[in-house]
Amino acid sequence: MHYQPNGGWVELVCGSMFSGKTEELLRRVRRAEIARKKVQLFKPAVDDRYGQVRVASHNGVVREGALVVNCAAEILERLDPQTQVVAIDEIQFFDAEIAGICDELADRGLCVIAAGLDQDFRGEPFGPMPVLMAMAERVDKLHAICVICGASASRTQRLIDGQPARYDDPIILIGGSESYEARCRKCHAVPGKPE
């Protein structure tokens, strides 16, 4: 979290799976709390991998007490008037309205810290992420390590029965290391992807 003397702003932490996005989000939440800021942490209802009200990184960093919402508009409905920092995990799963809501919160003087996948398993922009990346005051793109060659990984490889998922498979499939791997551009494969 960075202090902006003029009021609100939006920070976006993005990258592939296993790059440390949620861990970084929770680190920034802790820093805001140390600075005695009132923080609310939101997550989409679709992500129930670690329990409904728990935000957890793949490395085991856990935070209880997240507010689970079904759509972006619900963030505004559940916003405490005393809140100064809004943190949103897995922001790529929200509807397109999320970008406007983040913008509105920043215009109200709040700090918005969001984390999410910038690309889907196909290597294409994920949901609202391109708009969020364009409007945010700060964007940090994190990288994992490619499990095939050890290079810096910017892609998320979905696996089905140990094989790369096909291009026409559903975009959203909630999972962890049993379904996904971090891969570099060279090692990332999507059978059936149009040329």
Catalytic machinery residues: 90
3-state secondary structure 49-104: CCCCCCEECCCCCEECCCEEECCCHHHHHCCCCCCCEEEECCHHHCCCHHHHHHHH
| Burial label, 60 (beta-carbon count in 10 A; 0-12, 13-18, 19+) | exposed
44 vs 59: CA distance, rounded Å: 20
| Residue located via tokens 């942490």 | 41
C-alpha 103 chain-centroid distance: 17
Q: How many DSSP H helices and E strands does the chain contain?
A: 4, 13
Radius of gyration of the chain (CA): 17
**Closest C-alpha among 162, 160, 133, 157 to residue 147:** 157
| Burial label, 92 (beta-carbon count in 10 A; 0-12, 13-18, 19+) | buried
